[in-house]
Structure 1
Amino acid sequence: MIDSRCIPSFAVLTAILLSVAPRPAAATQAVLSAPGAPDAVRQALENSALSLQAASEPDASAQDIFAAARADYARLVGVLYARGYYGPEVHVTLDGREAADLSPLSVPARIGRVEIRVATGRPFAFSEAQIDPLAPGTDLPEGFAPGRPAEAGTIRAAAEAGVDGWRAASHAKARVAGQSLIANHPAATLAARVRLDPGPAVRFGDLVIASGSRVREDRLRAIAGLPMGEPFDPEALDRSAERLRRTGAFRSVRLTEAETLGPGNSMDIGLEVVDQKKRRLGFGIELSSLEGATVSGYWMHRNLLGGAERLRFDFEVAGIGGQEGGGEDLSLSARFDRPAVIDADTGLYLLGAVEDLDEPDYTETNARVGGGLTRIFTPHLSGEAGVLLRYSDVSDDLGDRQLTHLTFPVSLTWDRRDDALDAHDGFYLDGSVTPLLAVGGAAESGALIKADARIYQPLGSRVVLAGRAQIGSVVGASSDGVPPALLFFSGGGGTVRGQPYQSLAVDLPNGDRIGGRSFVGLSGEARVGVTRAIQMVAFYDAGFVGPDSWVSDGDWHSGAGLGLRYDTGIGPIRFDIAAPVDGDTGDGVQFYIGIGQAF
């Protein structure tokens, strides 16, 4: 309870506190006007105006707004020059006073209004667009020509193209030696002349390596593969950097050109690398309503022997809690990779793996050991060729048997996707041929052929159409002469969503089932962005399995559904729900949860 005798003094105290308490500053008004300017130009001006941004900040001081306004003159003129307006007028006023006329010592305590007025003037066109000398084959920007808009960015791009043309012709020290830009304001034209200095033809010198890496210098040289003594080529320099990056042993790679040339116009190249952590551990999980959970993981050493060698152990447990009649599938593999064993683009791999598969229609325990060579043909095209000994102990509806094959896997991958985990554009092609030589047990000789093709087509900024086709064939060997893990089944998350896992196979006359010797899988998706992080997906999958090596007798089934993707920044989390559309291999609704797009 408050004593009534205290009310007057209490009111006085409150009034005093209110009078001295800080009051929130009134918001600063900020406007930009550019009469007659195209919308794109006006938007560019607004995006570049620092004073507009500063005025919108609630805690910006008058000094902050003043400093931004002073900087805006040059920034806005630069925006207009970049778009070919060379006679503009720019006024930035603070409470009606030109910011350029204010002294930094007389800035008011508060600024209530920022106004930017821009008169762009007429857009200029090139009356002359000349750059010389040019290296043969130089490709200048199409807009650098008389009569075209005289944008400053076009002049800069032409100068860069001219220098790049000479560098591609081994003139590493090519530079812009001078330029003349003459504006005719009454005619609104610009005469642009750029003079280049190609400099001498240059050869690669030595690779000068900065110390600090755990990778030995001789291995750094071998992996980089810098063509010392040969004519300078900027693409060769880029390839050397990419070779070092793709080993995974380095957090960063930096190649620098020496400022001065050595004897015979040779140019040394400096190399600085920062090592990645030696070891890495990773895990993954996927979940299907019928197939159960799949848990996978790996452990990797990035620089095992000091030569950027990589040793990786992978494990996977699949079918945990599955409802399709099989049990859990276990796999463990180890792979050793050593880059640059024959040349800079050829590596060596050694592989050992064991699997214990408990599938609905067969059980198989197998082991593989061997090795081979890897080859990087281009940044997008790579291949492998090897020799592996494979032993399998199997049991299926054809009986129990042991199979031993000497295999010769050869594969080629052409990857032009913009993002391996969440592709929006490009394509992916992967093909392999694995000859099988029978060396023991009930094995038969033959070959396994597989191909996987994917294509991605954006429609606008929010829609992506994705398609996938898979084919497989076992030729030259019967179904009981190869391990069932090399035969084909359809249904489940990797083939036809909505159909039960491996529900489509080859039905034998006595009611038994085995895998097919031919397979076709087709998938289509429409991916629609809802927000920056959320994507809705509609999909349709179809699969074929046949008893012969080529598509002839056999059965099809299909499924369709809807999905949701949530972008985590390192890849989307996937949730799909699907049901059968065609075929008699299943019914009901299934769901799938995983990381990354379905394909």
Structure 2
Amino acid sequence: MPFTFPLRAAAMCLCLVGVSLPHSGTAAEALLTAPGAAPELQQRLRDASSALAAAPQTDAQELLAAALSDYRTLVQVLYDAGYFSPQVNILLDGQEAARIQPLNAPSQIASLRINVVPGPSFRFSRAEITPWPKNSDVTPPAEFVTGAPATTGVLRDAGAAGVMAWRRAGHPKVRLAQQAITANHRAHTLDARLTLAPGAQLRFGRLKLATPSAVRAAAIQHIAGLPSGEIYHPDLVARSATRLRRTGAFSSVTLRAEEQPNPDGTLDYIAGVEDMPPRRLTFGAEISSSDGIELTTTWMHRNLFGGAEKLRFEARLSGLGSSNDIDGRIALRLDRPATLGPDDNLFYLAEAERLDEEHYTATQGLGGIGVRRVYSDQLFAEAGIGFNSILATDAFGKRRFKYVAGFLRAEYDRRNSRVDATGGYFLNARLTPFLGLDGTDDGLQIKLDGRIYHGLGSNDRLVLAARAQLGSVIGPSLGNTSPTLLFFSGGAGSVRGHEYQSLGIPIGTSSAGGRGYLSLSTELRGRLSDKLSLVGFFDIGYVDSDAFVSGSSASHSGAGLGLRYDVAGIGPLRVDFAYPVEGGTDDGLQFYIGIGQAF
């Protein structure tokens, strides 16, 4: 006897107490057929069926239970696809599963046959959701209109859109009060009327804490910046939660509203936070044939004084195993969240660095103070001022430079992944105006870095990636500029296939960095498997003694192939082999090993 399922169906519950069925010795033969159904719908039915998944096992009791649960599961799949008069038969050894007495189940099951007749597809004879807020920036789904295919998914989306529209209008306690849904099986139509209960428009109240934290309660409230007194908006709640997560002091942050608003029309929120371990230690390493080995380490305290202050210590050693002497850097940075406002961090930094580069050596120390403003998850900016003292030896001799330097940096990141992007773009700009002391010249340094990614093919198996880097020093002459402000080309960060800093401005028998710089890189990344990718790349770089490059600027280029092996939680391990295309080099093939994409 066929089993049909009207829109309103009764629920049946079967309870088995203390019954154990014997095990069969063979797996059941399983088959699902859905005549007239589209291939996509047939696949969805197969994927949803618990009985098909359970058929290979040998326990008849579990197979019967799975078959009984499939009636509701398969009907729901059909409802979601717009079929409201389905017929579902599930036969176990030729007997309808729903007619098998649970206490008298067979000891073994040899065959499972599921037959699904979807029936006609339904359309909306009426699609109505009321009331709707005026001037809302949310609209009902385009599919929720009279004459459109009727599915439970569209009904859910329409209800969710209505709730979101009222929440964005300041009504956090809105609910779906009534669903009047009637199916006309003769006309194959669905009459859907959804009624919303908006509730009162409310304002934000206080932020309370639900769980203890090593971060002071007052600091959590200040960092969250919940706008007490303002009309409720879900984006403001999400922004407060994001501010707390951004500190890095918490592994989990939740903000939930109180069940009942206050008599004065405000709604309090409760913050639940879980602390991260207060300290973190990391290590990194990179090796190239020209630059040698670079080792880095960072140590961080996430809650130094109890207000989610973050202290970060960084150390670097590079040039290990290369022809150059060892470089080193030590840096400290202290960030204090919400110092000037909920989205503004005040930071202090101090740094000492020893550079032994190909064409110059320098020892520098700097200290400064600045502020960081976060505008969104994708955009932030920093500005600050500090003092920098540099003792350098280069093609122009040994000199000391002293600067009072400001800086302005902005970053906009629209990549879909920070470690292995397949789409989007990235922009970073830094302006460093500097005022010279004790005879040092004034000027401005500009650095720009832009990257773009575009996926091709199914699942972005091919990715085109491009990068442009521009640098310029405006103001002082080449000989009166600290070499730490000038630009060279060559190496892993610019033009692969050429030695590190191999392209500069000839000064007698030596070279100096240029005041103008441009580097262009392109990559074609092809995924060979879920873990392994092959990359082809081409890089070209320009350096000029003037502030901006031109067609007559010195240039070189390189090309090569690379492999990437994706490691979960880390990103791709990178190996690149590059050879010079233009511009002389005596070292021939260069190789580079690191973590993450080249850009």
TM-score bracket, shorter-length normalisation: over 0.9
Displacement of 1:586: 5.1
Would you say 1:174 and 2:167 are equivalent positions?
Answer: no
Separation in 1, partners of 2:381, 2:296: 25
What does residue range 62-77 of structure 1 map to in structure 2 within 5 Å? 62-77=60-75
Distance verdict in 2 for CA 1:319–1:118, change over 3 Å: same
Separation in 2, partners of 1:27, 1:220: 58
The aligned residue for residue 288 of structure 2 is: 288
What does residue range 21-170 of structure 1 map to in structure 2 within 5 Å? 25-56=25-56, 58=57, 60-135=58-133, 136-137=135-136, 138-170=138-170
The aligned residue for residue 483 of structure 1 is: 482
The aligned residue for residue 531 of structure 2 is: 533
Amino acid at match of 1:583: G
Separation in 2, partners of 1:470, 1:458: 22
Amino acid at match of 1:98: E
**Bigger shift: residues 214-223 or 499-508:** 499-508
Separation in 1, partners of 2:60, 2:489: 69
Amino acid at match of 1:472: G
Separation in 2, partners of 1:525, 1:338: 39
**Bigger shift: residues 172-181 or 528-537:** 528-537
Separation in 1, partners of 2:26, 2:590: 58
Displacement of 1:561: 1.3
**Is the CA contact 2:24–2:60 (under 8 Å) kept in the aligned structure 1?**
no
Amino acid at match of 1:288: S
- Residue in structure 2 matching 1:437, options 421, 435, 438: 435
SS in 1 for 2:339: coil
Separation in 2, partners of 1:458, 1:494: 23
Displacement of 1:305: 0.2
Q: Deviations over 1:262-321 (max 9, x none)?
A: 112211100010000010000111111121111111000000000000001011111111
**Is the CA contact 1:504–1:585 (under 8 Å) kept in the aligned structure 2?**
no
Separation in 2, partners of 1:487, 1:180: 72
The aligned residue for residue 5 of structure 1 is: none
The aligned residue for residue 454 of structure 1 is: 451
Distance verdict in 2 for CA 1:109–1:263, change over 3 Å: same
Displacement of 1:355: 0.8
**Is the CA contact 2:24–2:108 (under 8 Å) kept in the aligned structure 1?**
no
SS in 1 for 2:264: helix
Amino acid at match of 1:49: S
Separation in 2, partners of 1:454, 1:562: 20
Amino acid at match of 2:35: P
**Is the CA contact 1:540–1:560 (under 8 Å) kept in the aligned structure 2?**
yes
Amino acid at match of 2:313: F
The aligned residue for residue 338 of structure 1 is: 336
**Is the CA contact 2:23–2:59 (under 8 Å) kept in the aligned structure 1?**
no
What does residue range 464-503 of structure 1 map to in structure 2 within 5 Å? 464-503=463-502
Provide the alpha-carbon RMSD of the alignment: 1.5
Q: Deviations over 1:10-67 (max 9, x none)?
A: xxxxxxxxxxxx99932322111111111111111111111111123x4x51112111
**Is the CA contact 1:557–1:585 (under 8 Å) kept in the aligned structure 2?**
no
Displacement of 1:95: 1.5
Q: Deviations over 1:84-112 (max 9, x none)?
A: 11111111111111111112212222222
SS in 2 for 1:68: helix
The aligned residue for residue 353 of structure 2 is: 355
**Is the CA contact 1:500–1:586 (under 8 Å) kept in the aligned structure 2?**
no
Q: Deviations over 1:126-150 (max 9, x none)?
A: 1211111111323221111122211
SS in 2 for 1:489: coil
Separation in 2, partners of 1:203, 1:267: 6
Identity %: 45
Separation in 2, partners of 1:114, 1:455: 53
User: What count of residue pairs does the alignment treat as equivalent?
Assistant: 572
SS in 2 for 1:341: strand
SS in 2 for 1:360: coil
Displacement of 1:493: 0.6
Q: Deviations over 1:317-345 (max 9, x none)?
A: 111112xx422211110110010001100
**Is the CA contact 1:369–1:388 (under 8 Å) kept in the aligned structure 2?**
yes
Displacement of 1:383: 0.4
Amino acid at match of 1:480: G
Amino acid at match of 1:458: G
SS in 1 for 2:398: strand
SS in 2 for 1:264: coil
TM-score by length of 2: 0.93
The aligned residue for residue 245 of structure 2 is: 245
**Bigger shift: residues 584-593 or 228-237:** 584-593
Q: Where does the alignment leave 5 or more consecutive residues of structure 2 unmatched?
A: 1-21
Amino acid at match of 2:368: G
Distance verdict in 2 for CA 1:538–1:25, change over 3 Å: farther
The aligned residue for residue 231 of structure 1 is: 231
Separation in 2, partners of 1:90, 1:24: 26
Would you say 1:546 and 2:531 are equivalent positions?
Answer: no
**Is the CA contact 1:579–1:587 (under 8 Å) kept in the aligned structure 2?**
no
**Is the CA contact 1:298–1:313 (under 8 Å) kept in the aligned structure 2?**
yes
Separation in 1, partners of 2:526, 2:411: 28
The aligned residue for residue 3 of structure 1 is: none
Q: Deviations over 1:213-246 (max 9, x none)?
A: 0000111011000001110010000000000001
**Is the CA contact 1:580–1:586 (under 8 Å) kept in the aligned structure 2?**
no
Separation in 2, partners of 1:72, 1:435: 70
Amino acid at match of 2:309: E
Displacement of 1:381: 0.9
What does residue range 303-322 of structure 1 map to in structure 2 within 5 Å? 303-322=303-322
Q: Deviations over 1:435-459 (max 9, x none)?
A: 011013x521101101111111111
Would you say 1:423 and 2:421 are equivalent positions?
Answer: yes
Separation in 1, partners of 2:480, 2:336: 35
Displacement of 1:482: 2.6
Separation in 2, partners of 1:534, 1:205: 52
Displacement of 1:584: 2.1
Separation in 2, partners of 1:188, 1:502: 74
Displacement of 1:483: 2.0
**Is the CA contact 1:204–1:229 (under 8 Å) kept in the aligned structure 2?**
yes
Separation in 1, partners of 2:479, 2:97: 87
Q: Where does the alignment leave 5 or more consecutive residues of structure 1 unmatched?
A: 1-21
SS in 2 for 1:342: strand
The aligned residue for residue 15 of structure 1 is: none
**Is the CA contact 2:453–2:463 (under 8 Å) kept in the aligned structure 1?**
yes
Displacement of 1:190: 1.2
SS in 2 for 1:404: strand
TM-score by length of 1: 0.93
Displacement of 1:587: 5.2
Amino acid at match of 1:391: S
**Bigger shift: residues 297-306 or 177-186:** 177-186
Amino acid at match of 1:47: D
**Is the CA contact 2:462–2:526 (under 8 Å) kept in the aligned structure 1?**
yes
SS in 1 for 2:115: strand
**Is the CA contact 2:23–2:107 (under 8 Å) kept in the aligned structure 1?**
no
Amino acid at match of 1:134: W
Which aligned segments of 4 or more residues in structure 1 are displaced greater than 6 angstroms?
A: none
SS in 2 for 1:109: coil
The aligned residue for residue 576 of structure 1 is: 576
Distance verdict in 2 for CA 1:94–1:586, change over 3 Å: farther
